[in-house]
Amino acid sequence: MIANLSELEFLQGLFALIFAIISVIIGVRILLKYMSLKQPEYITIGLTWIFMSSGWWRACVNFIFFLIFGVSSGLGIAVDVIFLPVALMCWIYSFSHLIYPDSEKKIVLAFGAICIPVEIITIIFLIIQPELIATAPTPFNNEFTLFFMIFLIFILLSTLITGVIFAVKSMGYENKKIQWRGRFLLIAFISFVISAVIDAIFPITALTLVLARVLLISSAIEYYLGFHMPEGITKLLIKE
């Protein structure tokens, strides 16, 4: 069944599967932290990364189908785009709730004024004519229209700017563990955006694909360490 895929398609599918599995595991582990701490932001922090990974779900499912059945799943582009506005709103709530609690409602409403209409328009387009959002030339990648590409750039810039602010604020604390978590978050957001830029600007080759996906997978791990750093790693990094 793998013989039905080119080398590039195999790499695209494999890395999509690895990233999706790691992202869901990380998101769920952060979500479970809410059970012990009872802090609602851990719900949205966990959902942020799960939904941010949704752009690779179609490739992931198609790769599994090719491995088992030798054909594409036929899954449409909806699964790749429908959760992205939700992901941004989950992150903005988490960011504003933790960093700017006094301005939380204003920040959430400002982003909601953009994300909610985009979500509604996206759903309408997906129902009447999905090509208004994107086309799927292969089972493993999409070509977005100008409308959704602008929104994707908005997501990247928003997450990068707020992520850097969040990380810098964390690194300003005297608590060394929080400082390290801030460093991991800074690297996570930068890695995520660089990966996206490589995908968008450079031609897809085995080299650029591997580089972009390694950065993408590393960003997921760094995000996890930023919000749920295990004690073993804490003891390794912080010498009393």
DSSP-assigned letter for residue 137: E
Mean local confidence (pLDDT), 113-119: 98
Q: How far is it, in rounded angstroms, from Cα 102 to Cα 104?
A: 6
pLDDT digits (tens, 9 = 90+) for 135-146: 999 899 899 999
Predicted local confidence at residue 1, as pLDDT: 59
Mean local confidence (pLDDT), 177-183: 94
Whole-model pTM over 0.85: yes
Q: How far is it, in rounded angstroms, from Cα 2 to Cα 192?
A: 29
For residue 47, list its beta bridge partners.
none
Dihedral of the alpha carbons of 66, 71, 77, 81, in degrees to the nearest 10: -10
Predicted local confidence at residue 11, as pLDDT: 94
Where does the pLDDT of residue 2 fall: very low under 50, low under 70, confident under 90, or very high at 90 and above? low
Where does the pLDDT of residue 116 fall: very low under 50, low under 70, confident under 90, or very high at 90 and above? very high
Mean local confidence (pLDDT), 155-174: 95
Decide: 106 and 98 in contact? Cβ < 8 Å: no
pLDDT beyond 70 at 175 = yes
Closest CA to 189 of 211, 156, 148, 213: 156
Classify residue 171 by burial, with Cβ atoms within 10 Å: 0-12, 13-18, 19+.
Answer: middle
Q: Which of 100-114, 199-213, 224-238 has the highest mean pLDDT?
A: 100-114
Evaluate whether the domain defined by 2-232 bears CATH number 1.25.40: no
pLDDT digits (tens, 9 = 90+) for 17-26: 999 999 999 9
pLDDT digits (tens, 9 = 90+) for 227-238: 988 888 888 888
Where does the pLDDT of residue 240 fall: very low under 50, low under 70, confident under 90, or very high at 90 and above? low
For the chain, the domains span 2-232
Where does the pLDDT of residue 3 fall: very low under 50, low under 70, confident under 90, or very high at 90 and above? low
